[in-house]
């Protein structure tokens, strides 16, 4: 079998009957080149099957079309939508994503940033790890590239941040339950080191106090993002505190698991809290799975795709030196009312 030979830019120049520099200018869409010459070069590229080496071109021009994106967890539905919005916006401007994952580990985040800088990215968007955020910003600054933070909650005031309004999300959810007559509302999920959870519990607690309702520490329980753990946790919570008539669930998986925990104590999910046999249920971060349960889950939705789009726009503006100030953009949530509350 004959060995395939890689087509070089010199082959394109020879085929088109022009200089290598002319081919480079045409491919880079630079300089004043006649229409006929551009056609010759494009015809040569198509005929020979030439594929431009963007990495080499970036090194020569000191310009990159790569944007680094480092997520804490690439399987998280929240970040899936953020990534989709970021990618779509960048593609409009001929930029591509270079994706990595930190697994919530400070050293891993730093390694990812180092690798991306070595690959010559033009900017970095990242979900923060508190112990590493300042170092990431210093690394980006030394490399002369902009950085923006996109996350569920902010951890540093020295970086552009785009994210959801977690406190207002909890306010919306709690108010909705109170207006339905609930007076004993619990918060299930997350762990004490979560800033997102802290912001949501702040909104939940403030709203309860505003309406003169009790806030009890024993009604705020931790559990992992796992349906089985959530089911056990909710079963135990409702057994120990049967007065509870409604739950705020930190993540979609916890809301789904809570359904089983409610059923195990002989109750069902729904809006009728007066008889005492139904428990109202609201989850954060709406997902398609929320519509598949019976009843469908009432959820708080954050504009995740819009977060990604705004992060891309902010990066592009900083890359073109349109702005050098630090901005915080907090995007409002909305309540999607379904059958569970």
Higher pLDDT, 96 or 237: 237
The whole-number pLDDT of residue 2 equals 43
Mean pLDDT of all residues belonging to the chain? 89
Type and span of the H or E element at 42? helix 35-48
pTM of the predicted model, to two decimals? 0.78
Average pLDDT of the segment spanning 22-28:
80
Residue 337: band (very low, low, confident or very high) from pLDDT cuts 50, 70, 90: very high
Domain co-membership, 111 together with 149 = yes
Looking up tokens 């909705």 gives 176
Residue 301: band (very low, low, confident or very high) from pLDDT cuts 50, 70, 90: very high
- Distance between CA atoms of residues 187 and 197, nearest Å: 10
Residue 3: band (very low, low, confident or very high) from pLDDT cuts 50, 70, 90: very low
Higher pLDDT, 336 or 276: 336
The whole-number pLDDT of residue 119 equals 85
Domain co-membership, 145 together with 294 = no
Is pLDDT of 99 > 60?
A: yes
Strand partners, 49: none
Beta carbons within 8 Å of 140's beta carbon, 6+ residues apart: 113, 117, 124, 146, 147
- Distance between CA atoms of residues 87 and 108, nearest Å: 23
Average pLDDT of the segment spanning 164-176:
97
Residue-wise pLDDT for 213-227, tens only, equals 989 999 999 999 899
The whole-number pLDDT of residue 82 equals 94
Residue-wise pLDDT for 317-328, tens only, equals 998 876 678 889
Count of structural domains within the chain: 3
Domain co-membership, 159 together with 78 = yes
The whole-number pLDDT of residue 311 equals 94
What share of the chain in percent tops pLDDT 70?
93
Domain co-membership, 33 together with 97 = no
Residue 19: band (very low, low, confident or very high) from pLDDT cuts 50, 70, 90: confident
Average pLDDT of the segment spanning 17-33:
80
The whole-number pLDDT of residue 5 equals 62
The whole-number pLDDT of residue 206 equals 97
Q: Is the dihedral of CA 92, 93, 94, 99 positive or negative?
A: negative
Domain co-membership, 72 together with 99 = yes
Domain co-membership, 294 together with 177 = yes
Is 341 part of any domain? Answer: no
Residue-wise pLDDT for 119-134, tens only, equals 889 999 999 888 888 8
Residue-wise pLDDT for 60-81, tens only, equals 444 578 999 999 888 888 899 9
The CATH number given to whatever domain includes residue 76 is 3.40.50.2300
Domain co-membership, 129 together with 159 = yes
Is 232 part of any domain? Answer: yes
Domain co-membership, 297 together with 170 = yes
Find the DSSP H helices in 144-266: 166-179, 195-210, 227-240, 252-264
Type and span of the H or E element at 220? strand 220-221
Alpha-carbon distance values, 237 to 204, 232, 294 (Å): 18, 9, 22
Domain co-membership, 232 together with 294 = yes
Is 136 part of any domain? Answer: yes
Residue-level length of the chain: 341
Average pLDDT of the segment spanning 288-297:
94
Residue-wise pLDDT for 177-192, tens only, equals 999 999 999 999 999 9
- Distance between CA atoms of residues 236 and 229, nearest Å: 11
Q: Which domain holds residue 225?
A: 166-301
The whole-number pLDDT of residue 27 equals 79
Q: Please provide the DSSP assignment of 264-330 as one string.
A: HTT-EESS--SSSSEEEEEEES--GGGGSSSSPPEEEE--HHHHHHHHHHHHHHHHTTS--S--EEE
Average pLDDT of the segment spanning 39-43:
90
Contact (CB, 8 A) for 137 and 158? yes
- Distance between CA atoms of residues 147 and 275, nearest Å: 53
Is 60 part of any domain? Answer: no
């Amino acid at each position: 079998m004959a060995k395939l030979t890689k087509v070089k830019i010199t082959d394109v120049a020879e085929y088109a009957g022009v200089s290598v520099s002319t081919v480079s200018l045409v491919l880079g869409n630079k300089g004043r080149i006649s229409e006929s010459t551009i056609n010759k070069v494009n015809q040569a590229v198509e005929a020979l099957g030439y594929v431009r080496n963007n990495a080499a071109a970036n090194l020569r021009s000191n310009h990159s079309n790569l944007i680094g994106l480092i997520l804490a967890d690439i399987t998280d539905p929240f970040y899936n939508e953020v990534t989709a919005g970021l990618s779509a916006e960048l593609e409009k401007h001929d930029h591509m994503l270079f994706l990595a994952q930190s697994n919530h580990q400070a050293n891993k985040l730093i390694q990812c940033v180092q690798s991306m800088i070595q690959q010559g990215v033009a900017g970095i968007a990242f979900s923060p790890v508190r112990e590493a955020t300042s170092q990431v910003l210093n690394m980006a600054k030394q490399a002369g590239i902009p950085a923006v933070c996109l996350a569920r909650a902010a951890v540093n005031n020295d970086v552009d941040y785009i994210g959801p309004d977690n406190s207002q999300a909890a306010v919306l959810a709690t108010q909705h339950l109170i207006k339905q007559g609930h007076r004993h509302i619990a918060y299930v999920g997350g762990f004490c080191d979560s800033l997102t959870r802290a912001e949501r519990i702040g909104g939940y607690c403030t709203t309860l106090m505003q309406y003169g309702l009790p806030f009890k520490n024993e009604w705020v329980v931790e559990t992992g993002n796992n349906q089985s753990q959530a089911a056990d946790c909710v079963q135990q919570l409702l057994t120990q505190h049967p007065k509870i008539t409604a739950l705020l669930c930190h993540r979609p998986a916890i809301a789904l698991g809570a359904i089983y925990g409610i059923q195990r104590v002989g109750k069902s999910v729904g809006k009728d809290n007066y008889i005492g046999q139904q428990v109202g249920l609201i989850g954060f971060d709406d997902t398609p799975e929320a519509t598949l349960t019976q009843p469908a889950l009432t959820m708080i939705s954050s504009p995740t795709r819009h977060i990604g789009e705004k992060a891309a726009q902010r990066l592009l503006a900083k890359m073109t030196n349109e702005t050098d100030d630090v901005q915080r953009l907090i995007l409002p949530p909305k309540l999607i009312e379904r059958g569970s509350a």
